[in-house]
Amino acid sequence: SKPSLLILPGDGIGPEVMTEVRRVIDWLEKEKDISFDVTEDIVGGAAYDAHGTPLHDDTMAKAQEVDAVLLGAVGGPKYDALDFNVKPERGLLRLRKEMDLFANLRPAVCFDALAAASSLKHDVIAGLDIMIVRELTSGVYFGEPRGVFTEGNERVGINTQRYTTSEIQRVARAAFELAKKRNGKLCSMEKANVMESGVLWREEVQKIADAEYPEIETSHMYADAGAMQLVRAPKQFDVIVTDNLFGDLLSDIAAMLTGSLGMLPSASLGLPMANGRPKALYEPVHGSAPDIAGQGLANPIACILSFAMALRYSFDMGEAAALVEGAVEAALADGLRTPDLMTVEGGTKVGTTEMTDAILA
């Protein structure tokens, strides 16, 4: 049967960039005879407007059934004053939580045509292609006890970094599987020098390496040293696996090696479903960009590359994914630039639609 995809455009530029993904899907159906069972639904502010909730139960149920979910972006000034529980972002958080998406994949790829725009030296980032895997459902953001408490005449803010072996093992396995599909190299980052959870993290990752992935070149690095190395010589890495907090910071550092927010895709994966495919949500890293929404200026590349990740990781269509990625690279090499990319010298300023025209061409 056809692979199934649930499209949730969301708010702001979400629907604008998703329209462009639909064009890429149409092209693949027409030119490559690859077809998908696509359904579309609403999420975020759009769902709040229609149903009074940022994620309807029916939409949640659909998301649990499909092979992959592709989400645009949620939120906007119109919804800023809403109650926390019905804010657009809650829709996205509910999806991540109920699908139990514990492995957040953030690639950092530096396209040659954009290398000059980085604040780093050209030879440091040209050809960069790394993947950061961040644990997304545990660690210090969720550990108990947490809260602000009173102790004598002081107040104390508490968060707890907590990881179980199974939480470490499942994200490590996801990262090792990626390393297998990529270049056979994985670096795990924690602070085992000062943190007990880091000691456990290092031990468990190494155990999995020894028992299940002896062919992968596995290394460990303290996360602070890793941050430094990511800026100094990022090409030494291929797959990096790390916890929720360090991954939050390290993936933002890596993102900025490569250029604009409008270029960055992501995937969040959970456990395998009955058909062997992991639960999966793909989304651009950027938000709904209310400052440029409705003007045809949004860069569609982050969302198109998120779809390419779905092709590769959910549908086993690595060739089609490479085709889409290559087309993006070619459009950039031809000098096409949405306004967010105009920091790059030269180039032709284009809007959302023209960028996709060039990618399809």
Q: Which does 335 bind (CB under 5 to 8 A by kind): Mg ion, ligand NAI, none?
A: none
172 annotated ligand-binding residue: no
295 annotated ligand-binding residue: yes
Query: Is 141 in the active site?
Result: yes
Query: Is 222 in the active site?
Result: no
Query: Is 26 in the active site?
Result: no
Chain positions 295 to 314 lying near ligand NAI, rule: CB under 6 A, are: 298-299, 302
289 forms part of the interface with ligand NAI (CB under 6 A): yes
Chain positions 331 to 360 lying near ligand NAI, rule: CB under 6 A, are: 338, 340
Chain positions 136 to 165 lying near ligand NAI, rule: CB under 6 A, are: none
Strands 217-222 and 185-190: parallel
87 annotated ligand-binding residue: yes
Residue from 248, 334, 354, 357 binding Mg ion (CB under 5 A): 248
Q: Which does 184 bind (CB under 5 to 8 A by kind): Mg ion, ligand NAI, none?
A: none
Residue from 23, 39, 169, 290 binding ligand NAI (CB under 6 A): 290
Residue linked to tokens 């958080």 = 93
Of 245, 268, 270, the closest CA to residue 195 belongs to 245
| Number of CB atoms found within 10 A of residue 140's CB | 17
105 forms part of the interface with ligand NAI (CB under 6 A): no
Q: What is the DSSP string of 151-214?
A: ETTEEEEEEE----HHHHHHHHHHHHHHHHHTTSEEEEEE-TTT-HHHHHHHHHHHHHHHHH-T
Q: Radius of gyration over alpha carbons of the chain, in Å? A: 20
Q: Which stretch binds ligand NAI (CB under 6 A): 71-79, 166-174, 217-225, 308-316?
A: 71-79
354 forms part of the interface with Mg ion (CB under 5 A): no
76 forms part of the interface with ligand NAI (CB under 6 A): yes
Q: Which does 248 bind (CB under 5 to 8 A by kind): Mg ion, ligand NAI, none?
A: Mg ion
Annotated catalytic residue: which of 58, 112, 252, 316? 252
- Does residue 214 have a cis bond before it (omega within 30 degrees)? no
38 annotated ligand-binding residue: no
222 annotated ligand-binding residue: no
Q: Using CA atoms, how far apart are residues 270 and 102, in angstroms rounded to an integer?
A: 6
- Element of type H or E holding 8: strand 4-10
Of 61, 40, 44, the closest CA to residue 53 belongs to 44
Residues that bind Mg ion (CB under 5 A): 248
